[in-house]
Amino acid sequence: MVAPARLITPEIAATYGVSIHTVTKTWAQHPAWPHSVGKRGRYKEYTAQAVADFVRDHVERQAVDLEPRRLYTAQDLEAAGIGITAGTIRADLTRGRWPEPDDTEGGVNRWAGITVTRALDGRRGYRRTTEG
């Protein structure tokens, strides 16, 4: 099957596994959202490539390669560019949405790279790349 060159909101939502509301109220409000190229029914049309570029650049987060055995603080992880702030890590830990630290020596929470990688793999919006 040939992928359509132009997509409307319901097709964008289905393609990326999100709600129509997410497309119209979140993504389409972003300044980098592509301009429409036409209209089909009551929906604006967008080029599929422009939408894919937007999702790649503004929605999906590249998974960061962390050293599996190295211990990282929340600040280290934020600085490594995992896409989550140290404050969010601490808040998610408190709420049970982040794994318990692998080490707490000196009262500082530290997570092994493999622990963080597994936690990120379970979060929405992260993707592994095969680029080398």
Which CATH number characterizes residue 97's domain? 1.10.1660
91 and 44 co-located in one domain = no
* Statement: the pTM of the whole predicted model exceeds 0.95: no
* Distance (Å) of CA 13 to CA 9, 21, 24, 85, 112: 6, 9, 9, 27, 35
Residue 120 falls within a domain, yes or no? Answer: yes
Let me know whether 75 and 41 are in one domain. Answer: no
Mean pLDDT of the chain: 88
Pair (102, 70) in one structural domain: yes
Mean pLDDT across 50-73 = 87
In this structure, the answer to whether residues 120 and 75 fall within a common structural domain is yes
The model's confidence at residue 128, banded by pLDDT at 50, 70 and 90, is very low
**Residue pLDDT, tens place only, 69-92:** 999 999 999 999 887 899 999 999
Q: Report CA 49 to chain centroid distance, whole Å.
A: 19
Domain extent for 98: 63-127
**Is the domain of 44 the same as that of 11?**
yes
Helices and strands (H and E) in the chain: how many? 6, 7
Residue showing tokens 């503004």: 58
Q: Which two tokens stand for residue 32?
A: 């980098």
